[in-house]
């Protein structure tokens, strides 16, 4: 079976009050851990690739691995470009065979964001590809995406943006952030903004970026075996589950996967200092990613048995 778009995924998610997990990959082991979990839980899944991942692994290698995952698992998989910087980045992903792209114009002024998003939408839709855009600004750092400020999404502006661009889904800013250090104090998401957007755009798919919970067990393991990840704090999972039961039908996770893989590698090498076989430590990382994603599907996304 071929790769799919997110169109039908999101329609089912909105009807079923759950979200589809969008997981960033950089190598084979991360991909296998994610899709093995999705297959085990019979959940649809979105595989995301950032510009940093494209530079690291190469678009042809990544696309070929995802194609192999589709053939091997037989589940619904969409391949998505995360935070496409401009039209050319989105065009390159579409030509490579991605079924979904994100044009991130959130750092531009509003009118320029509208114009750039509309340009990508027209090109993508003509080729059967769906488009995600972003309105509002998330603080934090992840790959090439960084901001020191957080600007909440304006619900009325969101309505205008969707109408003028024809975009298929919209990433909004309600308090999530990129990276492992999301909150200095108490975690808070602006569900009032989400509710307002949901009321003003009924049945429209909303996306949450920066939604890793920064798994405490992985952080503890990293630090136990030589890491220095003090003060890392993510989004409480009960908040994410609430969002998934509303208009949010795509939840992005990257940091949690990085932490799980790093924790496994640190532990294996610390406890087996003579080990030089990458299959041993990367294989353990793959197992932990699978366990993490299975739990996210069950407890956060609610997407198990939705194929």
Helix (H) or strand (E) holding 251, with range, is strand 248-253
Cα separation, 232 vs 219, in Å, equals: 8
Cβ-defined contacts of 185-188 (< 8 Å, 24+): 187/233, 187/234, 187/235, 187/236, 187/239
3-class DSSP state for residue 70? helix
Our answer to whether residue 82 is catalytic in this structure is yes
- The Cβ-side half-sphere exposure at 283, using a 13 Å CA radius, reads 6
Neighbours of 143 (CB within 10 A): 18
Q: CB atoms < 10 A from the CB of 195, how many?
A: 14
| Terminal C-alpha separation, the chain | 14
Q: Which of 76, 82, 168, 215 is catalytic?
A: 82
Which residues on adjacent β-strands are paired with residue 77? 45
Stated as kind and residue range, the H or E segment containing 95 is helix 87-96
| Angle in degrees, CA 41, 253, 150, rounded to 5 | 150
Distance of CA 202 to the CA centre of its chain: 23
Token couple for 260? 């799980």
C-beta of residue 20 within 8 angstroms of C-beta of residue 88: no
Q: Which residues are catalytic?
A: 82
């Amino acid at each position: 079976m071929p790769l799919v778009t997110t169109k039908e995924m999101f329609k089912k998610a909105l009807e079923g009050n759950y979200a589809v997990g969008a997981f960033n990959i950089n190598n084979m082991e991360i991909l296998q851990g994610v899709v093995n979990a999705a297959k085990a839980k019979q959940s649809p899944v979105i595989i995301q690739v950032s510009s940093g991942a494209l530079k690291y692994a190469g678009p042809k290698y990544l696309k070929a691995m995802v194609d192999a995952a589709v053939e091997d698992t037989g589940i619904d998989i969409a391949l998505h470009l995360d935070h496409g910087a401009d039209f050319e980045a989105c065009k390159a992903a579409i030509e490579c065979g991605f079924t979904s792209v994100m044009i991130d114009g959130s750092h531009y002024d509003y009118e320029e964001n509208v114009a750039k998003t509309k340009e990508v939408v027209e090109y993508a839709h003509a080729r059967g590809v769906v488009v995600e855009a972003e309105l509002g600004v998330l603080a934090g750092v992840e790959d090439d995406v960084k901001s020191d400020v957080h600007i909440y999404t304006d619900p009325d502006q969101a309505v205008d943006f969707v109408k003028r661009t024809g975009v298929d889904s919209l990433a909004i800013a309600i308090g999530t952030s990129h990276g492992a250090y999301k909150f200095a104090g108490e975690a808070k998401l602006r569900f009032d903004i989400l509710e307002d957007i949901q009321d003003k755009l009924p049945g429209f798919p909303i996306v949450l970026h920066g939604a890793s919970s920064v798994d405490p067990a992985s952080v503890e393991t990293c630090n136990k075996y030589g890491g220095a990840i003090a003060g890392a704090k993510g989004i409480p999972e009960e908040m994410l589950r609430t969002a998934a039961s509303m208009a949010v039908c795509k939840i992005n996770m990257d940091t949690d996967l990085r932490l799980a893989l790093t924790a496994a590698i640190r532990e294996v090498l610390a406890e087996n200092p003579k080990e030089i076989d990458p299959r041993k430590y990367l294989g353990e990382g793959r197992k932990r990613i699978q366990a993490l994603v299975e739990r996210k599907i069950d407890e956060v996304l609610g997407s198990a048995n939705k194929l």
